[in-house]
């Protein structure tokens, strides 16, 4: 933004650090880094955390050259969330962007984001759109849609949530927003080390913001591939992550004072969905369900339909497992 003082234009700038957690992405990392190097305006700092990779990820990272401050650190494997937290602690810019190491960015990302930040007087967060694509011959069950579908400035988290819910675009992926560094760190916002840490942190982040800006521009390109966090088989880490999302959202709900019933209902619906996801993940991974969290969700929503959904959902899951076992017995010679 240019502020006119007499006849003199004064430019105000901002700084951006890109934080990249990387784990066993030797095949994809160079493409991600090249998309940063090809920016029409470079970021001010890039911090890559190798999360204990067992392939050539660290070597690819160290061999790459950037004309801006570029740090590469290698740590013991402890999850993407932990790597991001470390990156934040090392960052020096006003804004931080969490970028996945197997994806790539539009070449105008940094320039347009900086322009928007300055034009909108330094919002706490800027959220934008993305696209997804299949890697090579990999074919999943459909490509995720990351289109925001709207734009605007918001001075209330509830106003943003209401608008995003209307457009079905409450995407939680950190690659789809850039936020002020001061929101993150010890005693503030931190990622969990479990899976689904993106989902767990999203609403706490939104409700930590005073000013929010949304762009419909597509800057981020997500690679859907075999072996990624998105497509890997369910494990105990997924179950713990789903439980953490549920408990975090319930705790947040108790701390909030909602401006209107619409946003309150959106969060309650989220709690209902998280309950069902936790049950599904638990049963599919062969883990027992901790009913204390489920009962909390029922008491909080005060919804008979939610209680019935949980009962029916649990029954269908059990029924499916029985059918699967019978099918297995029939195939046995």
Residue 270: CB partners within 8 Å, gap ≥ 6?
203, 249
The verdict on 216 and 275 lying in the same domain is no
The verdict on 26 and 85 lying in the same domain is yes
Residue 313 lies in a domain: yes
Tokens encoding 213: 């800006």
CA distances to 23, 73, 77 from 239, rounded to whole Å, are 21, 29, 19
Return the pLDDT at 214: 98
The verdict on 118 and 218 lying in the same domain is yes
Domain count for the chain, please give it: 2
- DSSP for 290-301, written as a single string: -HHHHHHHHHHH
H-run or E-run covering 151: none
The verdict on 27 and 97 lying in the same domain is yes
Return the pLDDT at 8: 37
User: Of 96, 86, 89, which is closest to residue 44 (Cα–Cα)?
Assistant: 96
The verdict on 241 and 207 lying in the same domain is no
- DSSP for 235-262, written as a single string: -HHHHHHHHHHHHHHHHHHHH---SSHH
Q: Contact at 8 Å (CB) between 176 and 129?
A: yes
In the chain, at which residue ranges do the beta strands (DSSP E only) sit?
Answer: 2-5, 8-11, 16-22, 45-51, 69-75, 95-98, 104-105, 125-134, 152-154, 177-180, 212-224
Residue 282: CB partners within 8 Å, gap ≥ 6?
239, 242, 288, 289
Q: Contact at 8 Å (CB) between 247 and 203?
A: no
Return the pLDDT at 310: 80
Residue 328 lies in a domain: no
Residue 23: CB partners within 8 Å, gap ≥ 6?
50, 51, 52, 53, 57, 77, 80, 83, 101
> Which residues on adjacent β-strands are paired with residue 152?
214
Task: Enumerate residue ranges in the chain where pLDDT < 50.
Answer: 1-11, 319-333
Return the pLDDT at 319: 44
The verdict on 40 and 157 lying in the same domain is yes
> What predicted TM-score, i.e. pTM, was given to this entire model?
0.87
Return the pLDDT at 314: 65
The verdict on 191 and 300 lying in the same domain is no
Tell which of 157, 190, 224 closes a domain. 224
Residue 331 lies in a domain: no
Residue 229 lies in a domain: no
> Which residues span the domain enclosing 298?
236-323
């Amino acid at each position: 933004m240019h502020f006119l003082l007499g006849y003199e234009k004064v430019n105000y700038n901002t700084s951006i650090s890109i934080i990249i957690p990387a784990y066993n992405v030797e095949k994809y990392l160079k493409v991600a880094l090249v998309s940063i190097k090809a920016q029409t305006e470079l970021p001010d700092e890039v911090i890559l955390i190798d999360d204990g990779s067992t392939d050539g990820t660290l070597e690819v990272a160290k061999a790459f050259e950037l004309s801006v401050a570029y740090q590469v650190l290698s740590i013991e494997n402890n999850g993407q969330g932990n790597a991001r937290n470390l990156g934040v602690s090392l960052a020096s810019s006003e804004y931080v962007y969490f970028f996945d190491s197997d994806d790539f960015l539009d070449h105008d990302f940094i320039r347009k984001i900086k322009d928007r930040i300055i034009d909108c007087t330094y919002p706490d967060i800027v959220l934008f759109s993305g696209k997804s694509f299949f890697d090579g011959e990999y074919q999943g069950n459909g490509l995720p849609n990351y289109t925001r579908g709207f734009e605007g400035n918001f001075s209330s988290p509830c106003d943003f949530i209401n608008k995003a819910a209307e457009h079905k675009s409450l995407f939680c992926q950190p690659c789809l927003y850039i936020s002020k560094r001061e929101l993150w760190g010890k005693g503030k916002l931190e990622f969990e080390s479990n899976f689904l840490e993106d989902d767990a942190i999203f609403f706490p982040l939104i409700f930590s913001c005073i000013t929010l800006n949304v762009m419909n521009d597509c800057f981020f390109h997500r690679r859907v591939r075999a072996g990624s966090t998105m497509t890997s088989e369910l494990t105990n880490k997924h179950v713990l992550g789903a439980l953490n999302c549920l408990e975090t959202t319930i705790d947040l709900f108790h701390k909030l004072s909602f401006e209107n019933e619409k946003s309150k209902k959106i969060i309650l619906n989220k709690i209902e969905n998280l309950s069902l996801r936790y049950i599904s993940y638990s049963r599919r991974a062969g883990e027992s369900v901790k009913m204390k969290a489920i009962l909390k969700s029922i008491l909080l929503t005060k919804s008979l339909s939610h209680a019935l959904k949980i009962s029916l959902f649990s029954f269908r899951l059990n029924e499916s497992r029985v059918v699967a076992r019978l099918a297995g017995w029939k195939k046995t010679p």
